[in-house]
Amino acid sequence: MRFLTRLLACVFVASGIGSAFAQTYPDRPVRIILAIAPGSVSDVIMRAAAAELSSRMGQQFIVDNRGGASGIPAAQACAQAPPDGYTICGFSHAAQVFNPLIFNKLPYDPDKDFALISRLYFLIEALAVNPGLNVNSVAELMQLVKSKPSALNYGTLGPGSPPELFLKWLNNQWSASIVGIPYRGGGPIAQALAAGDIQIGNMGLGNFLGLAQAGKLKLLAVASSQRSSLVPDVPTYTEAGIGRYTWHGWWGLVAPAKTPRPIVDRLNAEVVKLHRDPAFVAFLHKQSVAAAPTSVEEYAAFIQKDRETAATLIKLANTPRQDFKPEK
């Protein structure tokens, strides 16, 4: 009985220390490891969020871009960071949902190495082409691809990434051999598409908007249940004939495992408040994403459900498991 009393007292004291720590947190700059290259729409959004959090929490939030390889280098860096609240991490669906279903020998454990903070937003993705292809619809693109099965290139985020899965699905559906070229983010893919280095891309619409408005690339379809008000003349995937591939990309925020729960709760509260702020929601809409903040528990349940959907898409794309091989 005496041991139990001492144990409860220790738990109470530790809880009190954690709460006090959270009240003074942060007292120095916070690093945000971001699993995407600079210039991508998610980079633009995270930098805006970092500026807002800096103002609201009284310390600077600094974005550290770690793009490439399906988000694996960023996830590994996050898993190895001190769990003190001064490193948090912006991940896409790849790090927590697709990678564990596709890769063996990941250098991180998606379920054990992170403390979830909140889902942030859903992407509205778009299929775009270089104008030099002279196609005006998905149907015309399919006919071109079938006439030249291996002549076209497509931008991916590396082996196993959702853009690569979409490519494999297209190749299976169209009996084609479109070649995937890896990049470190949606921004570089959009620039390569406009330059003609690749001919096809499928990423967040926000990566393509400016270039599409300038006539440097052409949008063929958007992945949403209804047309985007930003590009109302562009059909949805279903309208364009890509209805079987139904899935929405998303981004969320995590911390290294064992980050004190009071700090996680503080971050969750601030992040959710920001992503419900009407001005920030309007900013997100202009970037072609939809705010979708959650509690920690809602985020955990969402990830498990999304893995079930991802497993179905991986099967449709006929993608076998593979060993992860770090970039040299």
Span 47-87, pLDDT tens digits: 999 999 999 999 999 999 999 888 999 999 999 999 999 99
Closest residue by Cα to residue 183 from 170, 171, 195:
195
| Amino acid (1-letter code) at residue 34 | L
CATH superfamily of this structure's domain 22-123+248-323: Bordetella uptake gene, domain 1 (3.40.190.150)
Query: Three-class SS of residue 306?
Result: helix
Q: How far apart are CA 91 and CA 98, in angstroms?
A: 12
For 121-160, give the DSSP string.
EEE-EEEEE-GGG---SHHHHHHHHHHSTTS-EEEESSTT
In terms of average pLDDT, the best of 115-119, 147-151, 306-310 is 115-119
What's the pLDDT tens digit per position in 222-248?
A: 988 889 999 999 999 999 988 666 667
The answer to whether 81 and 87 are in contact (CB under 8 A) is: yes
Domains 22-123+248-323 and 125-240 share a fold: yes
- Show the tokens assigned to 32: 């945000």
CATH code matching the domain that covers 125-240, chosen among 2.60.40.420, 3.40.50.970, 3.40.190.10, 3.40.50.2300: 3.40.190.10
What is the tens place of the pLDDT at every residue in 265-280? Answer: 999 999 999 999 999 9
Model confidence at 11: pLDDT above 50: no
Residue 63 DSSP SS3: strand
- pLDDT band of residue 148 (cuts 50, 70, 90) is confident
127, two tokens: 């299929």
Domain ranges of the chain: 22-123+248-323, 125-240
Checking DSSP bridges between strand 218-223 and strand 114-123, what pairing results, if any?
unpaired
Going from the C-alpha of 83 to that of each of 89, 98, 260, the distances in angstroms are 12, 24, 8
Nearest to 268 by CA among 83, 115, 111, 65: 115
